Amino acid sequence: QVQLVESGGGLVQAGGSLRLSCAASGRISSYAMGWFRQAPGKEREFVAAISRMGGNTPRADSVKGRFTISRDNAKNTLYLQMNSLKPEDTAVYYCAASSGSWTYYLSRNNYDYWGRGTQVTVSS
C-alpha cells in the first residue's frame, strides 16, 4: 500500500507559478502517477499523468503549455510545475497512483491510491 501526501499549494496571483509535490510512503516506480483537480461544485478532473519510467506525460488541453508533470522514483516523489496560472485553475489538487493499465490513465477509476489534496487558489 502507498500513502500519498501533497504539498506546495497556496494563494497566487494570476500569471504566477506554483510547484506541487506528492511524497509517497513507498516505492512509486511500479505505479503510473497522476494529478487531478476538483473545483467547488465540479467533478474531479484529470490534469496530467506520467508513466512508470516517465516517458509519457499526457496533460489535459486546459493546462498544456503551462503545467509540467515529473517524477523522481529515487525520492518516491511526484511533481506538478504550474506556470501562467489562471483563476480557473483554482481547485483542490490531488495526486494518485495507479497499478492498472496505462491505457486508462485518464480515468479516476484506474487509480488505486489518492492523497488528501492541496488547495490552489489563483486570484485575478
pLDDT tens sequence across 15-58: 999 999 999 999 999 999 999 999 999 999 999 999 999 899 99
Q: Which of 2, 6, 35, 38 is closest to 112 using CA atoms?
A: 2
Residue whose C-alpha cell is 504566477: 16
Q: Are 12 and 123 in contact (CB under 8 A)?
A: yes
Q: Are 14 and 87 in contact (CB under 8 A)?
A: yes
Q: Which of 16, 102, 26 is closest to 5 using CA atoms?
A: 26
So what's the pLDDT on residue 66? 98
